[in-house]
A and B are shown apart, each in its own frame.
Chain A
Amino acid sequence: MDKLSDRDLFKKVAEDDERAFTLFVDRYKNRLYNFIFRIIPEKETGEDILQETFLRVYNQRKNYSPDYALSTWVYTIALNLVRSELRKRKLRRFMSLDFLKEEADIELPDNTNPEPGILKPLLEKAIKQLPGEYRLAFVLCDIERLPYSEIAEIMRVPVGTVKSRINRARSILREKLLPYKELNYELSKGFPQALCLY
Chain B
Amino acid sequence: MNCRKVSHRLSAYIEGNLSPGEISGLEEHLKTCIICQRKLADIKLIIHTSGQLERQAPGPHFTNRLLCAINQLNSFSNVFKVWRYRLTFSGIAFVAAAGLTFFFIGPQISSIQTPSTTVKAPVKSIIKADSNRVYDGFPVSGEALKRDLALHEQPKSDSTRQDSIMLPKHYVQPVGIKKNKKDKVVF
Contacts and interface: CB of A to CB of B under 8 A. Distances in A.
Interface of A: 18, 21-22, 25-26, 29-30, 33-34, 37-38, 43, 46-47, 50-51, 54-55, 58-59, 119-120, 123-124, 127, 138, 142-143, 145, 163, 166-167, 170-171, 173-174, 177-178, 181, 185, 195, 198
B12 interface: yes
Contacts of A143: 50-51, 53
Contacts of A54: 66
Given A142-B47, A170-B11, A177-B46, A34 B66 contact: no
B169 interface: no
Contact of B43 (A26, A127, A174): A174
15 contacts: A29-B58, A34-B55, A34-B57, A47-B59, A51-B66, A58-B70, A120-B49, A124-B53, A127-B50, A142-B46, A143-B50, A167-B11, A170-B47, A177-B42, A198-B38
A147 to B, nearest CB: 10
B72 to A, nearest CB: 10
Interface residues of B, number: 33
A167 B57 contact: no
Contacts of B46: 123, 142, 170, 173-174, 177
Contact of A174 (B39, B56, B70): B39
B57 A26 contact: no
B2 interface: no
Given A51-B62, A123-B49, 20 more contacts: A21-B70, A25-B66, A29-B58, A30-B55, A33-B56, A33-B57, A34-B55, A34-B57, A46-B56, A51-B66, A55-B70, A58-B73, A119-B45, A119-B49, A124-B53, A142-B47, A167-B8, A174-B39, A181-B42, A195-B34
A26 B63 contact: yes
